[in-house]
Every structure is written in C-alpha cells, then in structure tokens.
C-alpha cells in the first residue's frame, strides 16, 4: 500500500484511566479533553460512577466532565472492570484508602490475570482482601486506615506502582517504591506532581508524600503512542508515501519502540514538541523503510511492553533474527501474548520461537498468509491486521472487534492512511 496524510490517534489509554480516577477523587468538576472513549476507558467510567462520581458520557471528540465528591462512595453492586487490568489494579489502590467493602470482577481474560502483585503490598499497607478465586478476580477489598509503605517491587509494572501511589493518595500515607528492571510508564507520578503532590525520585526510589486533597483539574489527553505504533508500522511497511501522526504522547517511558525502530533502520522524526499537563506531546513523521534485526534488552522492555506484538510482527519483515529479552510479563497480559505472538507469526508463515522468557523472530520476504487467533486480545488483532496490508498478504484475523478495547474504529483508521495516499 501507499500511505499519506496527517492523522490523529485516539487519546492515551493510561492517561485517560488516571484522569478519570483522579477526577473522581477531586472535589468538584474536572474536564478531560481528547479522552479515549474505548471499551477500557468506559470500564473505568462505569465503575467510578458506581462509586459515586458523576461522569458525562464518553463520546469521541467531546470533553468528558468528571464531578467527584473528594472521596469514593460505597458501591451498591459488584464493580465490573470489563477487560481492563489498569482499571482494576489502580482502583484497588484507591479503594485501599476507603473503609467500605467493594467486590471487583471482569471478563474471562481479566479474571485470570494476577492480582496478588497488588493485593500483597496493599495488604502490607493495611487493606484486607477476600480472594475466593486465588490469584485473580473476583475479589473483595475492604480498605482501612493505611500505613506507610517502603517496597521493592518484584516486577517493573506501572500498574503496581500506580496502585500503591494511589493508595498513598487515598490513605494519606507515605509510599516509597523501587522497580527492578527498567522504568515503567510514569504518568501517575507526573500527574500527581502536576496536581501539587510531592513525588520525588532519589537513588532509584520513587517517594510520595501525602499533601491534602486533589483540586479539580482540566487536562488534554495526548494521542496514545501504543495506538500510534500500528499506523507507524503500516507506514514503515508501505511501498511509498509519508505519514504524519499528530499530537502523540512522547513521554520517554513510552517511546522505547522509537529507539528500537531507529536501530532497525526505521527512524521516525519527532516534530513540533509541546508539553501538556507535564506530558511531552509531538508529531511523528514516518516513511517506508527497509528493516534489519536488533536485540531488545531486558531493561528496555518496560518502556515498550505494549508495543511488542507490533514490533515482533515488524521483526518478521526485517533482515536477520530479532531477540526480545525477558518478556515473560507478556504471558499475563490480555492474553498469553508471548505464546500467541509466536504461534500467530508461525501461522502466517514467519519464523518465531520462545526460549525461556526470550522471543526470537527471524525475518522473511514471503507474503504473510494464514489465520490468526487473537484470544480477543486487541493488540494482537491490530498487529496482525497491519501485516495484512503487505502486498500479496492473506491474513485472516479471527476477531477484529476486540480492537475497540483501545482503538475504536481501528480498521477504518488503517484503511484511511492508505486511501489518503491514492
């Protein structure tokens, strides 16, 4: 295909969740422009409404108003977090500082995802849990008076880090955290700082000190780099043209994929940077490129964790063997992403294998052809749909509807960048 035009991608999922959660904790009305309106964002809005926040309908192009009461209220029913791990884990942090019981559940994918990674340190802070399903959902939390926490996290995860920082906010206690390998996204730290809280980093520890109530705020959500990556990849694989993706978040804890693509020979220009609410935002300018393999080190993984399906699919078109080191975390995402990325690459004729926690992908030139099983994982669906744009490709993705978890109207966005070039 040929690509062209200037497009935007939907609002950042991580920032939208955090803005909804913090807006619900503020006393008064906050306004969120450019919010993501996908199924995951709606899951956050739905559970926060059940916890007493007034949130206007999430509609594309409309500013979302969140009216919080300064605290959450006891819910009358089970909180259904849908497919969203971020909603669940961050909410558990906030609920830890509230003295009422709440039961959380989700869809089949979310119910099998591990929750002890947050319930164990939250228990240390003073929250109590009933976990009838073992390490997963449904579970019931009862928050309480919390204690300060100093905690070396066993995995680098923004969801664990954010849950614990938000427990600090809701419970009014100090929290100190350390991540083991690489830095996960730091949107929570940036937002809390922007809202006037004391969040500092010293000698590898992130320190939060409580500082009163959250004041209502106005925020403009940047485009999601984890959605932009699919259009970036389509443009890199195109035969000709140039694509500009405007207003994408380029927080350095999210742009590891740009460094990897640069090493692969697909350098992307980052233009016209500005800062909104403590977050850097810029345009990405992408041209088709011939790609070569690279090695992605363990320390880089937290900074590109959600981009691995697309990067692995791109590696299947690069010369040589690309290695992604220590990507075991992918086994506990919306699907067993590690196993399914490799299996689906093989299903479309590429060479891919998992050895221990490492993923190896060898590039080739034959058009990808075959059936892709997504297990309803949005990022797998979109990554393989992009491979399907190659000349001669015949890629059948079993479920494209799941893309709406993070990228509403993805199929038309992908078609549009091709059409614009015509």
> How does DSSP classify residue 319?
B
**Category of 49 on φ-ψ map: left (φ > 0), alpha (ψ -120 to 50) or beta:** alpha
Instruction: Using alpha carbons, list the distances in angstroms from residue 261 to 121, 146, 232.
Output: 36, 44, 10
> How does DSSP classify residue 181?
S
Segment near ligand S3P (CB under 6 A); pick from 158-166, 253-261, 277-285, 386-394: 158-166
Decide if 188 contacts 368 (C-beta within 8 A).
Answer: no
- Rounded distance, CA 100 to CA 144, Å? 8
Q: Which of 224, 283, 306, 377 is catalytic?
A: 306
Closest distance to ligand S3P from the beta carbon of 305 (Å): 5
The closest alpha carbon to 129, from 103, 155, 105, belongs to 103
Instruction: Tell me the per-residue interface mask from 358 to 397 with ligand S3P, x by CB under 6 A, - otherwise.
Output: ----------------------------------------
Q: Which residue's CB comes closest to ligand S3P? A: 14
Closest distance to ligand S3P from the beta carbon of 4 (Å): 30
- Rounded distance, CA 189 to CA 168, Å? 12
- As a residue count, the chain comes to 422
- Indicate whether 184 belongs to the interface with ligand S3P (CB under 6 A): yes
Closest distance to ligand S3P from the beta carbon of 218 (Å): 21
For ligand S3P, give the closer residue by CB, 279 or 283: 279
For 23-169, where are the E strands, in sequence order?
A: 27-33, 54-55, 64-69, 79-80, 101-105, 128-130, 139-142, 149-152
- Indicate whether 158 belongs to the interface with ligand S3P (CB under 6 A): yes
- Rounded distance, CA 362 to CA 345, Å? 10
Segment near ligand S3P (CB under 6 A); pick from 71-79, 134-142, 144-152, 157-165: 157-165
306 part of the active site: yes
Segment (H or E) for 354: strand 351-355
Segment near ligand S3P (CB under 6 A); pick from 156-164, 247-255, 314-322, 364-372: 156-164
- Rounded distance, CA 79 to CA 286, Å? 41
Provide the pairing of β-strand 358-362 with 243-249: unpaired
Pair of tokens at residue 243: 């694509």
**Category of 233 on φ-ψ map: left (φ > 0), alpha (ψ -120 to 50) or beta:** alpha
Closest distance to ligand S3P from the beta carbon of 19 (Å): 11
Pair of tokens at residue 376: 């309803």
Instruction: Tell me the per-residue interface mask from 325 to 364 with ligand S3P, x by CB under 6 A, - otherwise.
Output: ----x-----------------------------------
- Indicate whether 37 belongs to the interface with ligand S3P (CB under 6 A): no
- Indicate whether 30 belongs to the interface with ligand S3P (CB under 6 A): no
Residues 83-102 that bind ligand S3P (CB under 6 A): 86
The position carrying tokens 């080191």 is 325
The closest alpha carbon to 89, from 122, 64, 58, belongs to 122
Closest distance to ligand S3P from the beta carbon of 313 (Å): 17
Q: How many chain residues touch ligand S3P (CB under 6 A)? A: 12
The closest alpha carbon to 65, from 30, 35, 21, belongs to 30
For ligand S3P, give the closer residue by CB, 14 or 374: 14
Of 119, 162, 251, 255, the residue at the interface with ligand S3P (CB under 6 A) is 162
Of 7, 9, 14, 146, the residue at the interface with ligand S3P (CB under 6 A) is 14
For ligand S3P, give the closer residue by CB, 159 or 251: 159
- Indicate whether 159 belongs to the interface with ligand S3P (CB under 6 A): yes
Residues 267-326 that bind ligand S3P (CB under 6 A): 305-306
Footprint on this chain of ligand S3P (rule: CB under 6 A):
14, 17, 86, 157-159, 162, 184-185, 305-306, 329
Residues labelled catalytic:
306
């Amino acid at each position: 295909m040929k690509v062209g035009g200037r497009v935007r991608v939907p609002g950042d999922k991580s920032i939208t969740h955090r803005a909804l959660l913090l807006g619900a904790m503020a006393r008064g009305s906050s306004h969120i422009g450019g919010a993501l309106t996908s199924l995951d964002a709606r899951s956050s809005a739905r559970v926060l409404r059940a916890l007493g926040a007034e949130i206007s309908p999430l509609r594309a192009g409309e500013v979302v108003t969140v009216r919080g009461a300064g605290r959450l209220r006891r819910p009358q029913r089970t909180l259904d977090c849908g497919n969203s791990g971020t909603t669940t884990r961050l909410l558990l942090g906030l609920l830890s500082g509230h003295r009422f019981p709440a039961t959380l559940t989700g869809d089949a994918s979310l119910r099998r995802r591990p929750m002890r990674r947050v319930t164990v340190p939250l228990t240390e802070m003073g929250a109590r849990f009933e976990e009838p399903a073992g390490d997963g959902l449904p579970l019931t939390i009862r928050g309480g008076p919390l204690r300060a926490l100093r905690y070396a996290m066993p995995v680098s995860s923004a969801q664990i880090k954010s849950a614990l920082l938000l427990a600090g906010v809701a419970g009014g206690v100090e929290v100190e955290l350390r991540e083991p390998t690489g830095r996960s996204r730091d949107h929570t730290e940036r937002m809390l700082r922007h809202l006037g809280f004391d969040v500092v980093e010293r000698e590898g520890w992130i320190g939060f000190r409580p500082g009163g109530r959250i004041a209502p705020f106005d925020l403009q959500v940047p485009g999601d780099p984890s959605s932009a990556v699919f259009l970036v990849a389509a443009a890199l694989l195109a035969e000709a043209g140039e694509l500009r993706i405007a207003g994408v978040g380029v927080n350095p804890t999210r742009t590891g994929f740009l460094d990897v693509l640069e090493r692969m020979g697909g350098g992307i220009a980052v233009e016209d940077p500005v800062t909104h609410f403590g977050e850097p935002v810029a345009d990405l300018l992408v041209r088709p490129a011939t790609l070569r393999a690279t090695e992605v080190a363990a320390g880089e993984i937290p900074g590109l964790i959600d981009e691995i399906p697309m990067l692995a699919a791109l590696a299947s078109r690069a010369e040589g063997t690309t290695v992604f080191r220590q990507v075991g975390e992918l086994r506990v995402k919306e699907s067993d992403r590690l196993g399914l990325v490799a299996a689906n690459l093989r299903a479309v004729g590429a060479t891919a294998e998992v050895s221990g926690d490492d993923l190896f992908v060898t590039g080739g030139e034959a058009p990808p052809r075959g059936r892709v099983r997504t297990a309803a994982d949005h990022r797998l669906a979109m990554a393989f749909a992009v491979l399907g744009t190659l000349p001669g490709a015949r890629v059948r993705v079993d479920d494209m509807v799941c893309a709406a978890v993070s990228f509403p109207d993805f199929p038309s966005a992908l078609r549009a960048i091709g059409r614009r070039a015509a």
